[in-house]
Amino acid sequence: MSETVEKIEQQIRENPILIYMKGTPQLPQCGFSAQTVQALMACGERFAFVNVLDNPDIRAELPKVGNWPTFPQLWVEGELVGGCDIVVEMYQNGELETLIKDAAARANAGEEQRDS
């Protein structure tokens, strides 16, 4: 397994809510990433991101890891949720907020257990 794939798997494992995108949440570099990150931010929970434009190795390898060819990619609790169309649709029907809030609650509960 390549070092890049190991790095990707570690990022996915360590971040309960993670978006691989072009640009940053504050400055998306493509319309699809902008729409996806807006839907994610509207859920009101913290999330991690990786700018694939700054990480060409991840940009090349991630489509193989998730078997998903395009960006952005939203990963929640180690599972690929999907790209822009799926995330926006989930946001519009209320599924995304439930998914994100539940994942954040579980992550926070896990952190509190480790801290005590």
pLDDT (tens digit per residue) in 34-45: 999 999 999 999
What is residue 42's predicted lDDT score, i.e. its pLDDT?
97
The reply to whether 46 sits in an annotated binding site is no
What is residue 110's predicted lDDT score, i.e. its pLDDT?
81
Task: Provide, rounded to the nearest whole percent, the portion of the chain with pLDDT above 70.
Answer: 97
Q: How far apart are CA 42 and CA 81, in angstroms?
A: 17
Structural domain harbouring 25: 3-109
What is residue 114's predicted lDDT score, i.e. its pLDDT?
61
Residues 6+ apart with CB under 8 A from 47: 15, 17, 18, 19, 40, 100
pTM listed for this prediction: 0.94
The reply to whether 7 sits in an annotated binding site is no
111 pLDDT band (50/70/90 cuts)?
Answer: confident
Look up tokens 């078997």; give the residue.
67
Q: How far apart are CA 56 and CA 110, in angstroms?
A: 32
Total domains in the chain come to 1
The reply to whether 22 sits in an annotated binding site is yes
Does a structural domain hold residue 116? no
DSSP symbol at 2: -
Does a structural domain hold residue 115? no
